[in-house]
């Protein structure tokens, strides 16, 4: 793969195909390709492509936090039938990449199809001269061995970015613990989104195929509630696709920080989006549980703003009845000093110091017990009601 920043995207087409269950995913994906003019336009003979699923953690596929193995298989078979050489990979938030793929059910599919796992442990430096915020990334070595990337995101909510989509899924192209380091360095949601858009422009996948058959609402991206969405979405433009995800969630796309940044940079223009297939209105879920507050998810920045921040900014909260005292939240907290720690050994749940908390929500995302949720302070809820 030639790692370079992409030119401004002009294709704003998004194919929306109804898909009631994973048994019919293959047919839905084929229909999506047909709507876009055929799969042949997305590859050249003798190329190798890398499939980039969402492997947040090594969760069982029925938990709904990762790209479903049946969806992964349907996409892989579609390209393999064209004689394309495939590999796949992702860097999870915690644990080994191959271990996560095994637990999520993807490695069994890949082994059966003869699709090897790419190197997502070692990294290489990739210059990003056109980046607005970052001029270089340390990306997974496996990306450089492929001629192109096929992105397979999952339809989910997210504490920091409000939703997980095509752009956010590319964060897994950064191997190892550097991902938590970015949370500590880029504590404002706008700066974090600038980094994600820089990365998306650098990686520049050929295609984005969204697993929206079963979505996750509420306490996503791992501990939310599963909800049938029944859609397969395909586009060459990650921002146009994510815009459609937000609309289906009945979420103002301009509340999604990556979309706000992308529009400011003219990476996409919402008015140019062309829906192919089913009308998007037929998929909209008006009661979808997602953060629609107009307030920032990270809150005001700076030492003197912390007191005000704690009154109005959402924060992670531990349910002591669910907490197993495993300490994973302490381990993954990127703040220095840590914002969550054990205060009385492991006899009680860890305690937060919200003056240190950077609102990255890594603790909530990585909790294995569904014990951490995001709570909006009463004053913030009151402000939001006034605005409505």
Query: What is the tens place of the pLDDT at every residue in 120-141?
Result: 999 999 999 999 999 999 999 9
pLDDT in tens, 211-250: 999 999 999 999 999 999 999 999 999 999 999 999 999 9
Q: Rounded CA gap, 223 and 156, in Å?
A: 10
Q: Where do the domains of the chain lie, and which CATH numbers do they carry? A: 13-282 (3.40.50.11440), 303-387 (3.30.70.20)
At residue 383, the pLDDT reads 61
At residue 345, the pLDDT reads 85
Q: Which residue from 322, 300, 305, 316 is spatially nearest to 354, judged by alpha carbons?
A: 316
Place of tokens 């709570």: 375
At residue 313, the pLDDT reads 87
Q: Are 63 and 82 in contact (CB under 8 A)?
A: no
Contacts of 89 (CB under 8 A, 6+ apart): 50, 52, 97, 101, 117, 118, 119, 120, 140, 142
pTM: predicted TM-score of the whole model, two decimal places? 0.94
Q: Are 196 and 153 in contact (CB under 8 A)?
A: no
pLDDT in tens, 76-124: 999 999 999 999 999 999 899 999 999 999 999 999 999 999 999 999 9
């Amino acid at each position: 793969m030639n790692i370079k920043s992409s030119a401004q995207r002009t294709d704003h087409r998004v194919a929306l195909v109804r898909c009631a269950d994973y048994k019919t995913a293959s047919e839905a994906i084929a229909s999506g390709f047909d709507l876009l003019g055929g799969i042949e336009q997305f590859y050249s003979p003798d190329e190798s492509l890398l499939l980039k699923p969402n492997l947040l953690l090594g969760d069982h596929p029925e938990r709904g936090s990762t790209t479903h193995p049946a969806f992964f298989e349907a996409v892989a078979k579609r390209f393999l039938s064209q004689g394309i050489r495939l590999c796949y990979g992702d860097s999870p938030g915690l644990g080994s990449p191959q271990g996560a793929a095994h637990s999520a059910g993807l490695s069994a599919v890949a082994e059966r199809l003869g699709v090897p796992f790419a190197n997502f442990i070692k990294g290489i430096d990739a210059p990003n001269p056109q980046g607005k915020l970052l001029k270089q990334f340390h990306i997974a070595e496996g990306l450089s061995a492929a001629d192109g990337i096929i992105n397979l995101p999952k339809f989910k909510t997210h504490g920091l970015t409000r939703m997980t989509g095509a752009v956010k899924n590319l964060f897994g192209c950064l191997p190892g613990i550097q991902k938590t380091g970015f949370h500590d360095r880029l504590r404002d949601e706008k700066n974090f989104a600038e980094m994600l858009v820089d990365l998306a422009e650098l990686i520049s996948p050929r295609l984005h195929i969204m697993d929206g058959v079963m979505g996750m609402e509420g306490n996503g991206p791992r501990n939310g509630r599963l909800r049938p969405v029944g859609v397969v979405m395909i586009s060459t433009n990650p921002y146009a696709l994510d815009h459609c995800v937000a609309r289906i969630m009945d979420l103002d796309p301009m509340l999604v920080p990556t979309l706000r940044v992308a529009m400011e940079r003219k990476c996409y223009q919402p008015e140019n989006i062309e829906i192919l297939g089913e009308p998007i209105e037929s998929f909209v879920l008006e009661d979808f549980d997602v953060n629609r507050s107009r307030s920032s998810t990270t809150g005001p920045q700076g030492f003197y703003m912390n007191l005000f921040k704690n009154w109005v900014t959402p924060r992670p909260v531990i349910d002591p009845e669910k907490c197993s005292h495993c300490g994973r939240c302490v381990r993954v907290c990127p703040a220095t000093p840590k914002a969550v720690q054990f205060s009385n050994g492991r006899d009680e749940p860890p305690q937060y110091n919200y003056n240190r908390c950077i609102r990255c929500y890594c603790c909530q995302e990585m909790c294995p017990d569904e014990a951490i949720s995001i709570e909006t302070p009463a004053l913030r809820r009151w402000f939001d009601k006034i605005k409505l």
